Amino acid sequence: MMNGKIGLEEHFALEGTLGDSRNFVGADIWTDLRARLLDVQDIRLREMDANGIELMILSLNSPAIQAITDTPMAGETAQRTNDFLAAEIAKNPTRFRGFAALPMQDPDLAARELERCVKDLGFVGALVNGYSQVNSADNAVYYDGKPYWNFWSVVESLDVPFYLHPREPSERKAYEGHPWLVGPAYGFGAETALHALRLIGSGLFDRFEKLNIILGHLGEALPFTLFRIDERIEWSPMGYPAKRKVSEYFRRNFFITTAGNCRTQPFLSSLLEVGASRILFSTDYPFEEIGRASQWFDSLPISESDRQLVGRENATKLFNLSN
C-alpha cells in the first residue's frame, strides 16, 4: 500500500444541499451515502487511515451553489458553506484542506469570495460544479465569456487551481426517454468536457497562460479525443479563436484526476497522452469507495516514481502544500 496519498475530489454536504445528491442514487444506497456526505471527522478519517490517504481536499456536493438561481442567495450560501468547511478543517488541519464553493452567477462576487477563502481561510483553490443557473432555471451560464475574464484574472493572480466539476447537462432534449444517461453514467462527463472545450476555444488560456484547471474522472474522456479534435478543427470553416491546438492547452493548463474511474486501461492511455506530471490521485468519496479506489491505484502497473508523482507529489506542488 502506498502511504501519504492526497485525494482532491472528495465531497461533503450540508443539510441544505443533500437533496442535490439524492436524485442520482437508489433508496438502498441513500441512507449510507447521506451519512457519509454529512460526516467529516469520523467514518471518513477511519477509511483514510485504513487506505494510506494522508490528506483530503474537501468540496461541496453538486450542483449546490450553481443551481441557486437567486444570486444574493447563492453568495450567502457559498459564504456559509466555506465558513463551515473552514471550521471543520481547523479541527484537523493536517488531514483536511478546502476548495472554495463560489457563486459564479456573479463573477465579481465569486472573485471576492475566492480571495476571502484563499487569503483569510487558507483554502487551496476552488471547485465549481459546472455552469450556473442565473435568475431562472433555464438560463445556464458558462465561464468562457468576457464577463468572466476579470474573475479568471483573480484566479491566476492568486495562483490556485480551479476544479471544474460535473453536473447534469444543461440541454436535456437529447436525453429524453433515457434518464439513466443524464447523471454520472454519461451526461455529467459530456457536459463537463464541453465546458472545458469552451474555455479552451475562447482564447482564455492565451490571455491567462498560468491558469490551472482540474478535471476529474481521467479528464472526462478528453484525453482520448484530443487527436481528433485537433484534426477536425484544422478542417473546420467555422473559426477557432484560440491560438494553439486544443491538445497543447490541455497538456499545459489542465490536470486530470483518477476520481471515479478505477480502470487500468484508460489510466495507462491517459498517462501516455498527458504524462504522469499531469495526473492526480482522487477517489470521489463518498460516491465511490475509498478502499476500492486506493487498492486499485496502489496496484497499478506503473513505476514507483510515477505512483509517487500521481499519488502525492503533483498535488503537493500544485497546491503548495509543503509550506
State the cell numbers at 83: 465558513
Beta-bridged to residue 140, according to DSSP, are 133
Q: In angstroms, rounded to a whole number, what is the distance separating the alpha carbons of residues 10 and 57?
A: 6
Contacts of 245 by beta carbon, 8 Å cutoff, 6+ apart: 230, 233
Q: In angstroms, rounded to a whole number, what is the distance separating the alpha carbons of residues 96 and 41?
A: 10
DSSP-derived secondary structure for 57-95: EEEE-SSGGGG--SHHHHHHHHHHHHHHHHHHHHHSTTT
CA torsion, ordered 119, 219, 184, 69, to nearest 10 deg = 40
Beta-bridged to residue 6, according to DSSP, are 55
Place of cell 472545458: 196
Q: How far is CA 151 from CA 18, 135, 147, 159, 161, in A?
A: 28, 20, 8, 13, 13
Which of 303, 307, 293 has its CA nearest to residue 263?
A: 293
Active-site residues, by number, are 284
Put the strands of the sheet holding 5-12 in their side by side order: 5-12, 53-60, 96-100, 125-128, 162-164, 213-215, 254-257, 279-280
